[in-house]
Each structure stands twice: as structure tokens, then as C-alpha cells.
């Protein structure tokens, strides 16, 4: 596999579930005896990635303290805290700049969601040197909560669609960016992937592929989905456990 480093975005406030986890950042919510974000790291490690950066914000010191104590074998984890709200893409760029790393590509994941799918197909799109970015798309029966990705017959991203009822492909919040295309990102903060980065890349004719999969998916951003997390992890990820 090509040289890929990972950035996990964990800087949000978790507004919709803050009343349930008021003293910790959302990715630190314990599921199956571990913080949710630790399951994400186990998943990344299983894909052969040995370096991850957690982009933190709200209560970022809680995340950093935990991973300073809990070293996970097979993968090196560092934290990078934003001091002001930079947006999802802004947090990613900040983490990249602070890392001083220059891998061939970056894997970007949200710290509050997981897809039970390996990254082999996702990464394979980079065999085409013209592809600058790949988005993991999830096929779902109802896109009304998320909005959907609109592609052509060759899986090239055309644009994002507003939230509508019905079957479609949603943004799974997992991206791979070639390092060399980061220079095309807008230079502003806060910076959003959906509203700023992807439209800008498309305007500059950067080829963005959508890798559509049918896989179990969960984000823990609402009280309803938070209650589903324990079952989801036990059904899909407990085989990844290795001690700290």
C-alpha cells in the first residue's frame, strides 16, 4: 500500500448529545469498555496505517491525556489541538502543518463515526494518478438526514445534493487526499470540506472519485444513535482489540 498517514477529526462540541456526555468530548464516549475513538484507531491500524494524528478542539486535553497514557501497539498517535474553531477541513490542514509529514496521501476520518469496511477499494482509486481525492460513500435507503453525493457513471463526484428523502449514496466522512493537492485548498478559516474544499477542487478540475459501499455505518451524533453504539461495535469491531 502507498504511504498513507491518518488524521482523525475530533474537535467538535457534540451539541446534540452534550447533555449526555457533558464532561468529555464526544469521541471519548465509552463504548464496549473503550472510548469510541479508540475503536477508530484500531480500525485504522488494521488497514496497515502506522501513524495517526487526532485533531482536537473542545476538551482536547482529555483526549491527549488518555492517549499519552494508553499507547496502542502498531500505531503511533499524536494530538494536535486547535485554539480557535477552524472547521473540519481547517482542523485537518492545521494538523498536517503541525506534523511536518509529507506522505503520498492522507486518510481523513471523523472521530464520531465508523464504517465497517476496509480501505483496500478506497485506496485502489489512487492507482489512477489523475485522481486527487477519494470519498467513501455509503449506500442507504434514506438520505434525508445526511444529504447525498451525486456522481456520473464513472464514479466521479459531480456535486453534493441537499437532504432529500429516498435511497442514495451519502458521504461517509472518510476521505483520502493526495498530499500534493492540499495546496489547492482555499486559504481561509473556518474551512469546510463539503462547502469549501470539494467545490473548490471540482472548479479546479481535480478528479474526485466516490467509492460507494454497502457496509454497516454509525455516527454517534444524536441521542438515538449514541444508544446504538454498543451493539454496533460488538457486532463489527471487537475482533480488533489488542491491549494498550
CATH of the domain at 70: 3.90.550.10
Output the CA–CA distances (angstroms, integers) from residue 230 to 16, 187, 226, in the order listed: 19, 39, 8
pLDDT of amino acid 145: 78
Output the CA–CA distances (angstroms, integers) from residue 170 to 151, 178, 195, in the order listed: 11, 22, 15
pTM above the 0.85 mark?
Answer: yes
pLDDT below 70 — which residues of the chain? 14, 16, 240-244
- Residue 244 belongs to a domain: no
| Own/partner long-range contacts of 15-18 (Cβ < 8 Å, ≥24 apart) | 16/221, 16/222, 16/223, 17/220, 17/221, 17/222, 17/223, 17/226
Strand residue runs (E) in 11-99 = 30-31, 34-35, 51-56, 76-81
pLDDT of amino acid 170: 93
pLDDT of amino acid 144: 82
- Residue 33 belongs to a domain: yes
Cα distance between residue 64 and residue 181, in whole Å = 29
Q: Which domain holds residue 116?
A: 4-239
- Residue 193 belongs to a domain: yes
Cα distance between residue 146 and residue 169, in whole Å = 9
Other CB atoms within a 10 A radius of the CB of residue 209 amount to 23
Q: Tell me the pLDDT tens digit for each residue of 78-113.
A: 999 999 999 999 999 999 999 999 999 999 999 999
Least Cα distance to 80 among 66, 95, 102 occurs for 95
pLDDT of amino acid 243: 46
- Residue 168 belongs to a domain: yes
Contact of 125 with 175, CB cutoff 8 Å: no
- CA torsion angle for 199, 186, 9, 173 (degrees, to 10)? 10
Specify the number of domains making up the chain. 1
Least Cα distance to 108 among 29, 55, 30 occurs for 55
pLDDT of amino acid 166: 84
Amino acid at each position: 500500500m502507498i504511504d498513507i498517514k491518518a488524521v482523525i477529526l475530533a474537535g467538535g462540541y457534540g451539541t446534540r448529545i452534550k447533555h449526555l456526555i457533558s464532561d468529555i468530548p464526544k469521541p471519548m464516549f465509552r463504548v464496549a469498555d473503550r472510548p469510541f475513538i479508540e475503536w477508530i484507531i484500531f480500525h485504522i491500524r488494521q488497514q496497515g496505517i502506522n501513524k495517526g494524528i487526532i485533531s482536537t478542539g473542545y476538551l482536547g486535553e482529555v483526549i491527549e491525556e488518555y492517549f499519552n497514557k494508553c499507547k496502542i501497539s502498531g500505531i503511533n498517535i499524536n494530538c494536535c489541538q486547535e485554539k480557535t474553531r477552524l472547521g473540519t477541513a481547517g482542523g485537518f490542514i492545521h494538523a498536517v502543518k503541525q506534523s511536518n509529514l509529507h506522505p503520498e496521501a492522507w486518510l481523513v476520518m471523523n472521530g464520531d463515526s465508523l464504517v465497517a469496511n476496509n480501505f483496500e477499494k478506497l485506496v485502489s482509486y489512487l492507482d489512477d494518478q489523475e485522481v486527487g481525492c477519494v470519498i467513501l460513500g455509503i449506500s442507504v435507503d434514506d438520505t434525508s438526514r445526511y444529504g447525498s453525493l451525486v456522481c456520473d457513471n464513472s464514479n466521479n463526484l459531480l456535486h453534493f445534493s441537499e437532504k432529500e428523502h429516498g435511497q442514495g449514496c451519502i458521504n461517509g466522512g472518510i476521505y483520502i487526499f493526495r498530499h500534493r493537492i492540499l495546496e489547492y485548498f482555499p486559504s481561509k478559516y473556518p474551512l469546510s470540506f463539503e462547502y469549501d474544499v470539494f467545490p473548490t477542487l471540482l472548479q479546479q478540475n481535480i478528479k474526485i472519485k466516490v467509492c460507494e459501499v454497502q457496509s454497516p455505518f454509525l455516527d454517534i451524533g444524536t441521542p438515538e444513535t449514541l444508544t446504538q453504539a454498543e451493539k454496533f461495535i460488538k457486532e463489527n469491531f471487537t475482533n480488533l482489540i489488542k491491549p494498550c
